Chain A
Amino acid sequence: MRVAVSATEADHNVAGVDPRFGRCSFFAIYDSDTGEWNSFPNPAKDAVGGAAIKAVEFLKSKNVDVVVTGNLGPNATSSLSAAGIRVITGVTGKVLDAVKMAGG
């Protein structure tokens, strides 16, 4: 299972959960099968419009199964649902702890 957390910093060991989804700074992606971490700058961060949709597009390309974040807007919710990606929202604190909520 691949879990993506919206993150405030590149280093997942110190990063907090970014409360924004579409315009978060980084996506920390954890693969629970291999235990591997990867961090990517969010390509949609400075999008003029439709940031959340572009962010979901990106996560889909990374074969993400679950998104853990603070808050999701309507465009993000419908795109994640269309992509078949599950969501856990209302999460605050450290990225390392957030991943555990997804069963990682």
Chain B
Amino acid sequence: MKVVIGSGKGGTGKTLLSTSLALTLEYVRYLDLDVEEPNAHIFIKPDIRERIPFSIPVPEIDFNRCTYCGECAKACEFGAIFVGSNTVNVFEKLCHGCASCKLACPENAISERPYIVGEISIGRRDKIEYIMGYLKLTEALSTPLIRHIKKEYGMVSGDIIMDAPPGTSCPFVQSISDTDFVILITEPTPFGLSDLEISVEIVRDMKLKAGIVINRADLGSKEVKEKISGLGLPVLLEIPFSKEIAVGYSKGIPLVDVLPEYREKIKKLWERIREMV
């Protein structure tokens, strides 16, 4: 079963919940897809045995062939190529590595070279297989890295837990696609609700099964909570706003070690998801 934890709003408890899920279930593979700032390793504490660079193919121009016709720039959806009067600028940070420019070039002047945008770390903690994506600083495109990790490491049978990046744009969509269940974790504040509503809409559009976990559940107004339960998705678990949890989290102590009674609650949550899938 492939389960992804997403949120929309950041800081609502994706990593808090996903790491405790992994530590409770034990026999799982954990993918940290929050590649702009992966932090699950702080709680899971895996031994990393391998680090693999990740690159995307970017165009390389053969200036002996190029006629500066501009077809490559026209074909690029992302404005990553600028053709001048006697030079061509390639903006690697805007390139999605789609090769449209290469196909569009009438002179066969474009080849591809790898451009390293990040790194994948592979490790283990007891029975948890741990895989983490890391996007290099100043790089902006996380989607290709997320797609690659899911394709390379997310196609095995057995249970897979994925920590999605915050937000509700392409990286989120990429993270939740082809999963069996989406846990949307939120907090009962207007910001939490606003992003939750967008996330629910996306999950419905993608026809995915989903449920809600409310973190800091005793925070915020009753009105917001009523709206959350009115979204038509089951509320699977509530986690209170507790100083104890926050202090533990700040020291890298997972929820299930701060409050061991959550192991049972999390097991039940997992069983409920299994029934719904």
Tell me the A residues contacting B by CB distance below 8 Å: 47, 49-50, 53-54, 56-57, 75, 78-79, 81-84
Q: How far is the CA of A75 from the CA of B89 in the complex (A)?
A: 9
B78–A49 CB distance below 8 A: yes
Residues of B within 8 A of A84 (CB): 84-85
In the complex, the answer to whether B91 meets A75 with C-beta atoms within 8 Å is: yes
Asked whether A57 lies within 8 Å of B88 as measured between CB atoms, the reply is no
Please pick, from A47, A49, A54, A82, the residue contacting B84 in the complex, using a CB distance under 8 A: A82
Secondary structure class of chain B's binding surface, majority of residues = loop
Would you call B91 and A50 a contact (CB within 8 A)?
Answer: yes
Cα A76 to Cα B79 with chains together (Å): 12
Chain B contacts for A78, CB-based, 8 A: 82, 89
Within 8 Å CB of A57, what residues of B?
A: 73, 79, 82
Residue-wise, chain B 52-96 has the 8 Å CB interface mask toward A (1 for contact) of 000000000000000000000100001110111101110100100
C-alpha spacing A54/B85, complex, angstroms: 16
**Bound complex: CA of A56 vs CA of B79, how far in Å?**
11
Rounded to whole angstroms, the CA-CA distance of A51 and B140 in the bound complex is 15
Choice from B78, B79, B87, B140 contacting A82 with Cβ under 8 Å: B87
Cβ–Cβ < 8 Å partners of B94 in chain A = 49-50, 53
| Max chain A C-beta neighbours (<10 A), residue from B83, B84, B94 | B84
